[in-house]
Structure 1
């Protein structure tokens, strides 16, 4: 049975700028995670070698991490979507309750352009990135802060890096489980059927 014509039509989800920001940020984050692993996992450190180069690459990619988003703020589409991500409404609480109770019925999980899980992830990763940037700068410019601050910054930086790695793995796993969502980030468009099912409030 062929899909109805009105559900087969593609719906625009992300602009070219938004996709560029996502890809560039993902690439920088990937380099940060890989270089961090090479610095802290002995087997990888021995395999890669050239520690000084890895440290330099880690520092500069971490410093550049906010740049794509800041540059993308010139895009109205990106600013609008950031506004959507920053607003948490009653339907988001309903979505979270359904997710916590593992209710997989789509009617139980009302979502706008972004669901509550995506909003929480975006907020958390943004805050974690700022903390990593701040603690990283304290570890880099050692002469600007007292020893106690640097020691505390190292502790927070290391453990938060591990947490970010776990959260990113979950984010990637969920993306791999949803081909239509990946298509939206890759091409900018999704099917109307997927949009109506996964983000009904957005489609309305």
Structure 2
């Protein structure tokens, strides 16, 4: 019987990772940033439900406590990101997320046509959908913080009414909730992606199937320490010409 990733051998010892054909996808710092941001975001949404949804508010009570937790979890939301900037791996992934390559446009065209074949959706370390999500959620968090501070300190910008800040804040909160539900659903549909975020490593076969450009263009490092040729996700001159 063959052992699978994360399984043990018949003798009860853990199978050496070098035999599993896995490559490193995320560093410890990146996984900690993602985890801390996720928990803070969840705390913001749960406390918002306790404040704005009548049945939940009556069930939980402690409105003042919920309001303070909501405010401070929102203020702390950028902190994991700022700490993550100390990591070279995190900064490298930010550059990847901020760059659209030719094959990202191909991925979006395939998504619009509902083509599910991995060959029709080439991707680097992050696909085009993940890049759009990262950019959108980053902008949404900044707007939420800005409008939240306006609601907290009403005299901060007198020319912007509290009513306008509340409207934008509430509307964007629902939008973030919907987007996060979609993000979570995508994660639940992809156990290998969740494994990568949980342990830092994914199988090389999965990476070759869904993120082939990452292995070709990025320093995909396997568990034994070997690394591929380093380059960014920017298309090569030959690819741009074609």
Instruction: Please confirm whether the aligned pair reaches a TM-score higher than 0.5, indicating the same fold.
Output: yes
CA distance in 1, matches of 2:182, 2:117: 21
Partner residue in 2 for 1:80: 92
Find 2:25's aligned residue among 3, 10, 13. 13
Find 2:183's aligned residue among 171, 179, 184. 171
SS of residue matched to 1:145: coil
Aligned length: 202
User: Is the aligned partner of 1:103 residue 2:132?
Assistant: no
Find 1:129's aligned residue among 134, 141, 145. 141
CA distance in 2, matches of 1:91, 1:104: 15
Deviations 1:4-51 (A, max 9, x none): xx9940000000000000000000000000011111110000000010
CA distance in 1, matches of 2:161, 2:213: 46
User: Is the aligned partner of 1:66 residue 2:78?
Assistant: yes
SS of residue matched to 1:190: strand
SS of residue matched to 1:202: helix
CA distance in 2, matches of 1:105, 1:167: 24
Deviation at 1:143, TM superposition (A): 2.3
Find 1:196's aligned residue among 205, 208, 218. 208
CA distance in 1, matches of 2:198, 2:180: 18
Deviation at 1:147, TM superposition (A): 6.8
- Give TM-score scaled by structure 2 length: 0.81
Runs of 4+ in 1 over 3 A off after TM superposition: none
Partner residue in 1 for 2:36: 24
Question: In proportion to residue count, which structure has more helix?
Answer: 1
CA distance in 2, matches of 1:128, 1:53: 25
Deviations 1:116-136 (A, max 9, x none): 000000000000000000000
- C-alpha contact (below 8 Å) 1:7/1:191 kept by paired residues: no
User: Is the aligned partner of 1:49 residue 2:61?
Assistant: yes
RMSD: 1.7
CA distance in 2, matches of 1:7, 1:90: 34
Deviation at 1:142, TM superposition (A): 1.1
Deviations 1:139-167 (A, max 9, x none): 00112232743221111000000000000
- Give TM-score scaled by structure 1 length: 0.95
- 5+ residue gaps, structure 2: 5-17, 217-242
Which stretch of the first structure deviates more once superposed, 74-83 or 135-144? 135-144
CA distance in 2, matches of 1:139, 1:149: 9
- 5+ residue gaps, structure 1: none
